[in-house]
A and B are shown apart, each in its own frame.
Chain A
Amino acid sequence: MKLALALVGLFGLHMPAASADPLRLRADALATTASPAGLLVLDASGAAEPGLSAEAVVWVAGGQALDDRAHGDVLVMAIDAHSGDGARAAKLGRFVAMLGALRPVHVDGGALRLRLPRRFDVALAAGVPVLPGLTTHRAWDWLAGGRVARRLGDWGSAGVAYEQRRDAGQLVTEELGVDAGAAISRRDDLGARLAYDLANPGLAEVGLTASHRGAHVRTELYVVHRAASHLLPASSLFSVIGDVAAQRAGAVVTWAAAPRLDVIGDAGARRVDMDLGAELVLRARLKLDARGASAVSAELRRSGAGTKAWTGAHDKGRLALAGGFAVSTELELVRPDEPRGRGALWPWVLAAVSWDRGPWQAAVAVEASASPEYLRRVDALCQLSRRWGAP
């Protein structure tokens, strides 16, 4: 509480007249025969004052398949404070720090965001990278970074981010990121991000996307470039073997073919080293009622490049019944180009019954599959959830 009050004082929070968010708690219990394993997740959030909120997600688990160290952990535990006009915001605790074009990092630390005059924004983040397990003994690892961005009128923004991370004092990541987003018209927008590895100079990641939104059709063009050697820690021996990048480019068309029918097509190409492959997806989704509570979907996919290419089909459906009950099913068939003795067809199927009534949710399912790992496998899953506070 003292920490929260300190944040309030630090930011001089101007409390708006609106009421604070209610306190919420959600508990999810999941059990499966796969290991067997059980999982209990507690998710809580709330606001003591408008402009000052907190959230936490913790879990405990048991089962043979789990790592001995991972019987419980904290996913998020953070206090968030922001001024009434949103010009100043701070976060403290365990959370995922995001600095523009750089990859998100899970940290125990703090983040600060300020809106400055002349439409400049500054974001800073620092902390200790999270390690799985409730360990108390850890090396003195840290990361720090920041982003400076400028809003361009009402139609876009551009930013530059920098991050440095060290493990036991040794440099493992030093990256520079550039991001930009623009709504060039009411129906057209652009997005771009670029991450450059400064430790072993070279492009680590590039993403470009441009979309046009029509009355019934949305079209998106995209390009992705990723160099795995630059995404590894700089202390890894495999970060020194070159810039063989993978690229993907294509177009996605989302067509509202009928009031209840959406058709999505993705056609592109993928290149990994010298291998070139096609990336094709055709998906249709039909709502069986006006709200989409019941729906069916079918998807055909061709993916991968070279010997790692595969062809697959994925069908799914959900039917809402009376009394909060629903039945759902999914079926996937994958056919690898080169089975390499691991089966020519990998089927996967799941059938579930769920019930959602007031604060309670429950579901049971049977999952069956054949894969490179198992000739055949059947699992049962069970989930029970309860919500307290606001829905």
Chain B
Amino acid sequence: MTLGRATIGVALCGLVACAGVLGLTRSGPRAFPHRAHVIAGVSCTRCHASAGDGVSAGSPASASAAASAGDGVSAGSPTLRLPDDASCTTCHQKPHDPRSCLGCHVAPGALAALAEARDHLIFDHRRHLDGVANGNCMRCHTGVADGDDHMRPAMTTCFRCHDGDAARDARRCDACHRGLADQAMLPATHLAHDGDWMREHGTRAASSSDLCESCHKAAFCAGCHGRTVPALPAARRFADPFAASVHRAGFVARHSLEARAEPGVCATCHAPERCVSCHAARGVAGDQHASPHPRGWIGLTAADNQHGREARRDPAACASCHGGAGEALCVTCHAVGGVGGNPHPPGWSSRQSLGSMPCRMCHPTGSGATGRSR
């Protein structure tokens, strides 16, 4: 009981001590209290007076030209439609601090996010404010009154009205986004690249590769799936430990374990002969006179004959060394009439002709005598 209480106490102390690092508390600037202002009946445009001035976002004259210590963006910049101190002191006539209001009353990163939206979105506030929003900013900025410090509406909010737009159907991101590839921004609201995206992306891309191409160029896919890849993108970004990759960290050491845990997965990008060519180049297991197989690998009794089970389990591993001319080794026993018997499982069939490879290796006369069904 005492130990349990002590554990809970230590955990609570740890949580309190780390609250700032976790972002649970903020010692510096905090989100602007929009909700309090809305409840007090202050309209949005009373502070954000320039919101309906009709200047489209995407203007190169963004606020990023100005600088401040936190976000590299000037608070109160008119290009971000933010209020200046004069707007605040209209009501708050006795400021408690001589510094600029938005120097403190804004969430960390919010100004930079606004400037990024300003640079990369093609958007006309006035058209929306006068049109569908009918003067109600919260039609789109839905989270503001809940204390959300992320001013930019989610893309799903846009699609509530822009459902079925030709540009959307055509996967034309550039109808709204400008310089998307330069934002280094992962899609957060319509296709999140989180979880185990390295495994998931193939299934997602299968039905929507055109969506992938709206951000990623051909070199992005070829960077991993190409046959002429000199080094994986992550290997060229070794100083960024958070760069996603299937072959990160000590993969060279554990690759045989990973390959055998998922037989065939290597073939997604690599040719079967990749294993032996790399091993030969590195001088690993390249000695043709020393068998890498354990004792009992091949023999005349079932107990002394592991290779059949292992070959069925991971044929790609066998093919990596014994592919091509090396297949002749198998045929010495498994040809029609050989001591190795029929390697095909019950019910196996093929549309290959007996005269083609690899059939003709064991069926030189076109015979199906091993029981092979077609």
Contact = CB atoms under 8 A, between A and B. Distances in A.
Contacts of B200: 191, 209, 220, 222
Interface stretch (B61-69, B89-97, B309-317): B309-317
Interface string A237-272: 111111110101000101001111110101000101
A253 B311 CA distance: 35
A230 B264 CA distance: 9
Nearest to B254: A334
A109 interface: no
A61 B229 CA distance: 11
Contacts, number: 361
Given A266-B196, A273-B313, A305 B351 contact: no
Given A236-B319, A241-B344, A316 B227 contact: no
Contacts of A272: 260-263, 313-314
Contact of A228 (B228, B315, B358): B315
A180 B203 CA distance: 9
Nearest to A223: B203
Contacts of B218: 55, 76, 78, 80, 91, 95-96
A43 B219 contact: yes
A286 B22 contact: yes
Chain A residues touching B, range: 35 or more
A171 B356 contact: yes
Contact of A371 (B226, B227, B250): B250
A280 interface: no
Given A100-B207, A207-B202, A317-B241, A238 B261 contact: no
B120 to A, nearest CB: 12
Contact of B230 (A73, A244, A347): A73
Contacts of B261: 246, 270, 272, 277, 303-305, 308-309
B239 A241 contact: no
Contact of A346 (B24, B250, B281): B250
A353 interface: yes
A386 interface: no
B19 to A, nearest CB: 8
A373 B282 contact: yes
Contacts of B281: 65-67
A252 B109 contact: no
A144 interface: no
B200 to A, nearest CB: 6
B223 A228 contact: no
B297 interface: no
A354 B239 CA distance: 6
B108 interface: yes
A44 to B, nearest CB: 10
A86 interface: yes
29 contacts: A18-B174, A30-B231, A67-B281, A75-B230, A86-B169, A86-B171, A86-B210, A106-B222, A191-B204, A193-B207, A199-B352, A207-B206, A226-B263, A230-B264, A232-B316, A234-B352, A238-B323, A242-B345, A252-B195, A259-B22, A272-B263, A289-B108, A303-B261, A304-B260, A326-B239, A336-B254, A353-B239, A381-B238, A391-B182
Interface of B: 21-24, 108-109, 112, 156, 163-164, 166, 169-172, 174, 179, 182, 192, 194-196, 199-200, 202-210, 217-219, 221-223, 225-231, 235-236, 238-242, 249-250, 252-254, 256-258, 260-265, 267-268, 272, 277, 281-282, 284, 309, 311-316, 318-319, 322-323, 327, 330-331, 343-345, 348-352, 356-359, 361
Given A241-B312, A272-B262, A334-B253, 13 more contacts: A30-B231, A106-B228, A179-B206, A192-B207, A228-B315, A232-B264, A232-B319, A236-B272, A270-B261, A272-B314, A289-B108, A308-B260, A372-B256
